Amino acid sequence: MAARVKGLGWATRPLLRVVQTWCLDGRRWVRALRRNPVRVVFPSGQVVERKPGPGKQPRRAAAEASPSEQRPKQPLRVSPSQTPCTWEESGLRYDKALPGDRRLSSVMTIVKSRPFREKQGKILLEGRRLIADALKAGAVPKVFFFSRLEYIKELPIDKLKGVSLIKVKFEDIKDWSDLVTPQGIMGIFAKPDHVKMTYPETQLRHLLPLLLICDNLRDPGNLGTILRSAAGAGCSKVLLTKGCVDAWEPKVLRAAMGAHFQVPIVNNLDWETLPNYLPTDTRVYVADNCGLYAQAQRSDKASDHGWVCERRLSKLHKYEEEDDDLEPGASRAWLPELEVQSYDLDWTEAPAAVVIGGETHGVSLESLQLAESTGGKRLLIPVVPGVDSLNSAMAASILLFEGKRQLRVRAEHSSRDRSYH
């Protein structure tokens, strides 16, 4: 039995060698087929020369060629004005936040507090569109937190140089986001200066000699809506007095829908310095909520036309309440005497500024004094008796677009007069 096994093993060895030989011969034939022969010798002794293809020459001939015939390879020339157009060419790098990284939480604590925001001079912008509008307007970014690299690649590369890019988990952004549906990117910017901003050309072409003054507005949603209406109407500037909510608060930014980068906004002004931001010959008009002072200027039939609000709405005017406490015959010279005018009558013959007061306290005494000194009036928006007064955002929108309508009608009349002459 052992002899049979030994014989069988001896018989199988040549087979293995034959297989290996066949594999080697096959490889040689494949290698030979890939070659490009220069000379073919037939069994009869005939020799046939093979000419190299166009643009090719034998290796030996190429080596023996003269230096003048050899053309050195020219390096690829790149125009000095060419700038990187892709993320890879720009050489930008980003950090990936590890578990326990507190950079996002520490920055959010600062930018979500108004005192820290004013002290550090930084604001928080969230959302791809708002960040893109800010970069286009010239806002300076400091840090970007993002959950997907694609969100950063959508931004202009030249605006990202020197900016800290930190990739974090989407759950971390969701924890700090003020949006119902977070978009996965948050940016920390230096607080914009309206003097250094670059506003859209279309917005600049449609600017009107119309300004808006916000007096003690404290509701973020109302202020954001007012800024959006001011940008839509073509307002040339928005001035915010001290006591107003911060224009760069996240809730105001969300309600304004990018209006911060379409109309100049001047924040935290004193009434003493506010006239310095008004153009020459500007008349200041005050939005009226049908207070007692306005009723006194109307006829007895005013209530039939819906001009008079209820007595309970007079609480919006502190100065009128104080006026009721005066003794008979006491002087009321401290209260500016402003003529009351319907909002739809012409009041845009000169550059105009409209004062909108907060819903809680209404317009301030300083605003009435400024209106009196500039020759302005109180603009009255009629409402049906028994209906509560309009909120600040609605009143501002009505007055701004009414001013825009009056300016358009005046421009059409002037152009028609010029064509006749």
Query: Binning pLDDT at 50, 70 and 90, where does residue 389 land?
Result: confident
Query: Binning pLDDT at 50, 70 and 90, where does residue 305 land?
Result: very low
Query: Binning pLDDT at 50, 70 and 90, where does residue 336 land?
Result: confident
HSE (side-chain half, CA atoms, 13 Å) at 235? 31
End-to-end CA distance of the chain: 131
Residue pLDDT, tens place only, 69-83:
455 545 434 344 344
Is the pLDDT at 239 greater than 80? The verdict is: yes
Per the CB < 8 A criterion, the answer to whether 274 and 370 are in contact is yes
Output the pLDDT for position 30. Answer: 53
Residue ranges and CATH numbers for the domains of the chain are 86-196 (3.30.1330.30), 201-291+338-414 (3.40.1280.10)
Helices (H), 101-246: 103-111, 114-120, 128-137, 149-153, 170-176, 201-205, 220-233
Q: Dig out the tokens for 107 from the structure.
A: 């920055």
Output the pLDDT for position 54. Answer: 55
Q: Which of 102-106, 204-208, 241-245, 321-325 has the lowest mean pLDDT?
A: 321-325
Write down the residue that tokens 């005497």 correspond to.
337
Q: Is the pTM of this model over 0.85?
A: no
Query: Helices 392-420 & 220-233, crossing angle to 10 degrees?
Result: 10
Average pLDDT over residues 306-328: 43
Distance in angstroms (rounded) separating the CA atoms of residues 418 and 421: 5
